[in-house]
Each structure stands twice: as C-alpha cells, then as structure tokens.
Amino acid sequence: MHIPLSRRNLLAASLIAMAGGMARAQERRPRGLEPAERIDHPRASHFDLGPAKAPWRIFLGQPSVAAPRGGYSAILALDGNATFPILWHLRQELAPEAPVALVGIGYPVETRFDPARRWFDLTSPGKQPVPAQEGLRGPGDRPTGGQDALLDMIAAQLLPELSRRLPLDTGNLTLFGHSLGGLFVLNALFSRPRLFARYAAADPSTWWNAGEPLREARAFRGGIMAAGGRLEPAVPLLIANSGAAVPPILAQLSGIPGLDLVYRPHPAENHGSLIGPAARQALALHLGRLAG
C-alpha cells in the first residue's frame, strides 16, 4: 500500500539524501584535495610570489612578540596550504611567546595540496619507475624536475622578500617537508647545507628515481670527508618515519661528523597521519627542544 509523504517527511528525506550524496562525494575525493584550513588572524597573512601564471602562495605567520636584536628565526614548510595551519596551532600550543615566524610555501588553491605543482616542484628530473612491491605511486604523466628551480626561488626571491616584510635572521632558519617535501629537504641539505640552519624530513620519498637520495647521501658523505671530514658549523637533521620499517637513508647519513642526526620513529602512524607529529617535532627541533 502506498502511503503519501507529508511535506515535512519529504524535506527530511531530501536532507538525508543530500547528506548521503555529500558523504559519497567526500569518499570519492582524492586524498589531499580536501579544503585547506584557513587561519583567520591579524598576524596571519599570505602573498603570491613568482610568475603571474604560476605563482607560489606564501603563508606568513608573524610572532606575537617583538623581534630580538638579530631578527626573528623562522621555520619554512613545504606544502604550505596543509602545513601552515598545523604549525600555526602548534606554535600557539608549544611556544606562543617565541620569536619564531612561520612560513608556508604553497599554491593559490583552496585544497590542502596541489598534486601537479608539488610533483614538479619537489622532484628532480628523473622518473625511473618505482618497484611494484613497494606499492608506491609515481607521478604518472605529471611533469617533474623543478627541485632546483624552487630552491633557487627560496634563496633568491623568498628570503629577500621575507626580510623586507619583517626582521628576519636568515642564519636561523629551519626547512620542513613531508613525503615529496621530505625528498626536497634532503636535496636542499645535500646541495646547499648552509642555506638553512636545520633540516627536518618526514617520511622522505627516498624511493624517488630508483633511490636517488641514497646515492646523493653517499656523495654528500664523500664530499664532506674530502673537504676536511666535518660539517662546520654542525647541522641538525631530523628524520621522522611512520610504520615499523627503518628508512635506509639513516645508514647513509649516520656517523657523518657535524651532521647531528635525530631519528624519530612513529610506528603507530601511517604516511598521511605522520605530518602532524612530525611538524610538532620539527618545531621542537627549531626551538632547541628535541634532543638527539
């Protein structure tokens, strides 16, 4: 027997169907393309830098205190749309009065990540396939190879622009990245170890280009030994890792004089969930609160 629906029941049924449709849409949305959190605060701002057709969006979180004599220190984070809000909340929790500026290097999008841009910006040109047993996805048809260009932009454009906007101690900077961002952090350490005072890599994509970072690490070690055998001044490097496996990059970097290697395993985290705990440890490293 057909029972007619009242207007109220029709409205309720429509709302339920709409909610179900939204939930299914959320399930279909690729991971990382969720809307990015926006920080609405007088000390949080953003600006675009670079070519008009493909600028970087720079997120800037100024400290709540006056700058010390040498200027503010800063932590620069890749994938800034996702990482800047995380670091903002962590600074509020851990060090609200610290003279630490937060800088997120991201893109003019509303989502947490821009997959095509990050695959280009954070990688070297090599695209050798990933072994199938690792279960990892490569860039597909996306362009790669912008790693050096992004590092050049940071050194030649971003740091001078930040210095125009606030008192900045360019000798007291930390670079933080997760996944492909961690790959970029390692490349920055190997190619320009003096550009940053500290480096923090979370689940760095050491599988890239058939283990390219492992080869770079061996060359880095050899270069240090040939140049006197020690990094001076010492450079702290944080490696945070999800799951139970020990990352092979540790063996390549352990024991390098002057490289203060700090390893933090997170067996209960997965690759995606590591970003929060690793950001917390990167900020602690920057603040001098993370022992080796």
**Which are the catalytic amino acids?**
179, 232, 271
Structure tokens that stand for 52 in this block: 């008009």
Q: Is the peptide bond before 213 cis (omega within 30 degrees of 0)?
A: no
Report, in angstroms and rounded to the nearest whole number, the Rg of the chain calculated over CA atoms. 21
φ, ψ of residue 108 to 5 degrees: the values are -80, 65
**Euclidean distance between the first and the last CA atom of the chain, given in angstroms as a whole number:** 73
Token pair 């010492």 is found at 234
Q: What is the DSSP annotation of 208-233? A: HHHHHHHHHHHHHHHHHHHTTSS-SS
> Rounded to whole angstroms, how far apart are CA atoms 268 and 237?
22
130 burial type by CB count under 10 A (0-12 exposed, 13-18 middle, 19+ buried): middle
Distance, CA of 118 to CA of 269 (rounded, Å): 23
